[in-house]
Amino acid sequence: MTRDPRQAPPPSTGRPAGPPRPGPHRGAQPPRDAAAHGPYDALVVAGGGARRLGGADKPGLTVGGRTLLDRVLGACPDAVTTVVVGPRRPTSRPVRWTREQPRGGGPLPALEAGLRALGEQPGTGPGTDSGTVLVLSADLPFLRGETVRALLRAVREDPAADGTAAGDGDTPVEGAVLHDGRDQPLAAAYRTEPLRRELALLRTEHGGLTGMPLRLLLPDLRLRRVPVPAGAADTLDCDTWEDLAAARRRIREHGTVLDEWMAAAQAELGIELDVDTTALLDLARDAAHGVARPAAPLTTFLVGYAAAQRGGTPEDVAEAVRAATRLAERWSAETDPL
């Protein structure tokens, strides 16, 4: 397929173009069930040659107005430390960068480099290892935060709790992988030390990791498989221009487009807020029908401003919506015959 240059942003310069935009992690609260999965680090594999994309900067391609990399980073905003293995590029939140050796050596050298970076602070010295590392590919545009949390919980749950863990039921689980008919080692959470162990053993057995297939990583790890729900697209990746076009069509489907737009807008504005979209749309409808069509966007803007002045919580938004709705109802009622 011939590459359409309109599908990709300008080529990366290899370094962020100024400070990254503030992301939803700044000033945001951790997910409500963060305590259930405990602290973790994130390792995102964002290198590779993207040969089927003609060598394009795949993590920098956009779906729903956000780069593939930023969409993946948005699924794990509460990671203690996030390392991205690949060329430097602008991101929506701070990350630590590293490169695999040799460059282009494949996913196993990338994992090794990422784990090494997690074990070090910038410069020299020991790092702060959380004990669990979330490993993700940078081209998963529909990976959800709830799926990430399911993986993290699965690593910490009692291994005898269900039948999805391999090996002895009394043996601690060493990892949890998304399973969509196949195990997905780059959509997984691992105990950090067993992952280091397997990479070291593979390096010793094969004399190196360069070019080795990723599937060699899993057989000797005690894993729990987390099934992808029917209809979900958490493991849908973008390896070709056709894949990218399909992802862009999917994000605009009628049933989900508003949710996707709200998530993208919040990420762009650097906020994180539970929004009652239905209530806001009802308010916009009432303002448009009862006052004038241009009143709809103006009213919702004022509601947002008022909520921010009051503190910006979901309750502040809800109260501002209720107040504006009451006003719109009173305004409309005056058009009724006396």
Helices within 50-178 (DSSP H only): 68-73, 107-118, 145-156
Q: Do residues 90 and 20 touch, judged by C-beta distance below 8 A?
A: yes
What would the mean pLDDT of 258-284 be, rounded to a whole number?
Answer: 84
Confidence class for position 338, pLDDT limits 50, 70, 90:
low
Q: pLDDT at residue 209 above 80?
A: yes
What would the mean pLDDT of 227-242 be, rounded to a whole number?
Answer: 92
Q: pLDDT at residue 19 above 50?
A: no
The whole-chain average pLDDT of the chain stands at 83
DSSP 3-state of 333: helix
Confidence (pLDDT) at 15: 37
pLDDT, tens only, 172-181: 899 999 999 9
Confidence class for position 51, pLDDT limits 50, 70, 90:
confident
Q: pLDDT at residue 1 above 50?
A: no
What would the mean pLDDT of 49-57 be, rounded to a whole number?
Answer: 76
User: Which of 92-96, 163-167, 290-294, 297-301 has the least mean pLDDT?
Assistant: 163-167
Answer with the residue of higher pLDDT: 34 or 242.
Answer: 242
Percent of the chain with pLDDT over 70: 80
What would the mean pLDDT of 252-280 be, rounded to a whole number?
Answer: 83
Confidence class for position 33, pLDDT limits 50, 70, 90:
low
Confidence class for position 255, pLDDT limits 50, 70, 90:
confident
Find the helix packing angle between 277-290 and 257-269, rounded to 10°. 100
**226 phi and psi angles, rounded to 5 deg:** -105, 110
Q: Which of 260, 263, 276 is nearest to 315 (CA)?
A: 276
Task: Find the angle CA(186)-CA(190)-CA(191) to the nearest 5 degrees.
Answer: 160
Find the helix packing angle between 314-333 and 277-290, rounded to 10°. 20
CA 333 and chain centroid, separation = 46
What would the mean pLDDT of 160-164 be, rounded to a whole number?
Answer: 48
Q: pLDDT at residue 153 above 70?
A: yes
Q: pLDDT at residue 115 above 70?
A: yes
In SS3 terms, 230-282 reads as: CCCCCCCCCCCHHHHHHHHHHHCCCCCHHHHHHHHHHHHHCCCCCCCHHHHHH
Percent of the chain with pLDDT over 90: 51
This prediction has a pTM of 0.77
User: Which of 236-245, 267-276, 303-312 has the least mean pLDDT?
Assistant: 267-276
Q: Is 276 left (phi over 0), alpha (psi -120 to 50) or beta?
A: beta
